[in-house]
Amino acid sequence: MIAYVTVGSDDIDRAKRFYSAFLPALGYGLEEGHEGLSYALPAEPGQSPVLPDFYVKPPFDGRSASAGNGCMVAFEARNQQQVRDLHAAALSAGGTDEGQPGFRAAYGSDFYVGYLRDPQGNKIALFSSNPNEPGRDG
């Protein structure tokens, strides 16, 4: 199981604007600290944390952050409309489009996805594979 994912950022304020445009709608809460942003899903008192956490931090080595070639973080939305809404919100909050929401021929008929880049260049996917919604072929 993946416990957490971290992406680097040279501008935490821009990253906060971008990620706060969609992560709260997916249930993530934000804690800010001197080391950056920590987004976590809520857990009931006495329960184990709901994983994974998502962190946005300046690189530990002090050099500029860079996006990994071939790296991507995907967040699951409740439905196709939420994918469209959150993709648009993330673009309005400083993201860049890497693929408008829709079905992709290479993936399953229920996999609906939109791609974008955060202000630092990290690739993000927002997807839904809700079997109760019309699929690519339906």
From residue 119, how far is each of 11, 14, 71 by CA, in Å? Answer: 8, 7, 15
Confirm if 95 and 119 have CB atoms less than 8 A apart.
yes
Instruction: For residues 78 and 3, give the distance between their C-alpha atoms in angstroms, rounded to a whole number.
Output: 21
- The 10s digit of each residue's pLDDT in 15-29 is 999 999 999 999 999
- The 10s digit of each residue's pLDDT in 98-125 is 999 999 988 999 999 999 999 999 999 9
Write down all domains in the chain, each with its CATH number in brackets: 4-128 (3.10.180.10)
Instruction: For residues 55 and 4, give the distance between their C-alpha atoms in angstroms, rounded to a whole number.
Output: 7
Which residue matches tokens 């249930």? 27
Which residue matches tokens 């931090």? 57
The pTM of the full predicted model, rounded to 2 decimals, is 0.92
Which residue matches tokens 């290479």? 106
Q: Is 5 exposed, middle or buried (0-12, 13-18, 19+ CB in 10 A)?
A: middle
Instruction: For residues 118 and 45, give the distance between their C-alpha atoms in angstroms, rounded to a whole number.
Output: 33
